[in-house]
Amino acid sequence: ELKVEQNPLFLSMQEGKNYTIYCNYSTTSDRLYWYRQDPGKSLESLFVLLSNGAVKQEGRLMASLDTKARLSTLHITAAVHDLSATYFCAVDNTAYGNKLVFGAGTILRVKS
């Protein structure tokens, strides 16, 4: 059974600082996704990582995937208040099945 673990579950950081959110998963997969959720809102797709070594960047966020270590990271550079949200990673270990298993989410609060 696929398990997805994120850490930390809560992160409070100062504006301008860097930090990394980690996503570990338990079974072989090369399809990993990052989503953002604002309070009371839907989930917004941030990154789609489909191969070992994949790296994607959008603004102050960068995601990477190491399938051998079963690990993805979401790195935040020079955080700003607007990045405050809950971030989820999700893993699909089915062939083109879209059947995502989600981590518990990381609540990020950026303090000005």
Q: How far apart are CA 82 and CA 62, in angstroms?
A: 16
Sheet strand arrangement including 4-7 = 4-7, 19-25, 71-76, 61-66, 55-58
**Residue 69, interface with other proteins (CB under 8 A)?**
no
Contact stretch for other proteins (CB under 8 A) within 11-19, 55-63, 71-79, 91-99: 91-99
Contact stretch for other proteins (CB under 8 A) within 33-41, 53-61, 62-70, 72-80: 33-41
User: Token pair 């989600």 is at which residue?
Assistant: 102
The residue among 102, 46, 50, 49 whose CA lies nearest residue 76 is 46
The answer to whether 101 and 6 have CB atoms below 8 angstroms apart is no
Shortest approach of other proteins to residue 35 CB, angstroms?
8
Contact stretch for other proteins (CB under 8 A) within 15-23, 58-66, 70-78, 99-107: 99-107
Residues that bind other proteins (CB under 8 A): 31, 33, 35, 41-45, 48, 50, 88, 90, 92, 96-105
